[in-house]
Amino acid sequence: MKAVYVKENNTMKHFIFGINEKNNGIDSEEYQFNSIEIVGNKAFQNPWNIKRLFFDEKLMIIEKDAFKDCSELEVFCCGKISESEADAIMNLEVNKLEIRKNSTNENDEVKTDFIVQTLAFSGCENLHTIVFPECSKLIIEKYAFKNCSSLRTVITFADEIFFTENPFDDCPKELTFICKNDNTQIARFARENGYGVINV
């Protein structure tokens, strides 16, 4: 399915609809996006046929209400998309968020932050899996996953985690975080809130 949407610079402003291509194996409920850095406020407001969304390593910010009430959405993934195979999602080692060069030393690599603003996924009642990119700091604001009653898996390999209150408060207690072996922040957060943790 080819997505039709409004884009301003590298910000997705509004998803409009999908165009069904000839039967070439592409799932009509699955969309892939390249070179989007920001998913704007209410960009995916009430779409009717989106179940799986894949963004490449450019994505850095999901703004407030971006996916609000996407009741059909099941999977959200930031994974590297192979250019040679447009319908293949690659690297579920979880890709690094786009590397930026430090202005003082061209050889220094600096991972950027990934931000999920408040209410970004609120009302996504069928959302069950989130894959975040590897990043320096993952920031998730309160109510980001309000009424996400099916969320069971969150994959994050961030170096640091910062949550405003408990953004997963409305999620089931079966929620499990898959994270780095040494991430004590996630381990403590999961322990304090009754969630599961798998270290890899």
DSSP 15-40: EEEEEPPSSSS--TTEEEE-S--EE-
93-117 burial, b for 16+ CB within 10 Å, e for fewer?
A: ebbbbeeeeeeeeeeeeebbbbbbb
Strand pairing class (137-140; 2-8)? unpaired
Give the pTM. Answer: 0.83
Reported as a single tens digit per residue, the pLDDT across 93-132 is 343 444 443 334 454 555 689 999 999 999 999 999 999 9
Between CA 149 and CA 73 the distance in angstroms is 12
